[in-house]
Amino acid sequence: MRETLQPYIAEDGYRQILPRYHFQEKEEDLIRSLTKQLYQVLDSATYFACKSPREENRLAVLVTLGSGVDHLQEAYTKAGQLTEGYMIECIAMELLKNAYEQAADKIYSHYGRWAGRFEFLGEAVPIEAMEEMFTILEPKEISYNQAYMLMPKKTAAFFTTLTENRQTAYCNFCQTCSHVKCVHRQGNLTYGYQQIFRNR
């Protein structure tokens, strides 16, 4: 099943992006401008389906922002505007995070149960499971190469198990997750982005 997503950054989200990625307040207008450009090229969607008839609670899931993000970032990078290219990378990370939340909502709307822990391929699940996932979902605009790199780049692949207990669902995952250095962890959101910034 394919569902369209419309990821966004909330108005107060810009004030969080600035310190998270070590941007200055004077750069907020540029970030907002680049976000508007991203909105125009987004083609975000999620695919999800049961892993098999015998595992009806186990879902394969893909979430993507679409290839427009890659093209926009490449255009800025090729023009030598590396700061803008990096900003697009950061904004896209925030949009992808919001897309995860929307995908979880779509799953709940369809199944009436919550998406549990997101088991990302290459982390909780062997990357080779990509072949199985694409057989299940048959996404038209998403592909992967021999190294299992997904295209478009801002695409995520994971499995999740449906649950009726909201306390163990994705929306509460940060409270129980042991991955304390996760870039999306609530209350600890700066660690991963600091590493990105230092490696610029």
pTM (predicted TM-score): 0.83
Q: What is the pLDDT of residue 153?
A: 96
| The residue to which tokens 């679409």 are assigned | 66
CB 120 within 8 A of CB 156: yes
CA dihedral over 185, 189, 191, 194, signed as positive or negative: positive
Per-residue pLDDT 10s for the chain (200 aa) are: 999 999 999 999 998 899 999 999 999 999 999 999 999 999 999 999 999 888 899 999 999 999 999 999 999 999 999 999 999 999 999 999 999 999 999 999 999 999 998 999 999 899 999 999 999 999 999 999 999 999 999 999 999 999 987 666 665 445 444 444 444 445 433 333 333 333 33
| The residue to which tokens 């190469």 are assigned | 145
Q: What is the pLDDT of residue 179?
A: 45
Token reading at 160: 């999740």
Q: What is the pLDDT of residue 53?
A: 85
Indicate the burial class of 54 (C-beta count within 10 angstroms; 0-12, 13-18, 19 or more).
exposed
Q: Which helix (H) or strand (E) holds 120?
A: strand 119-120
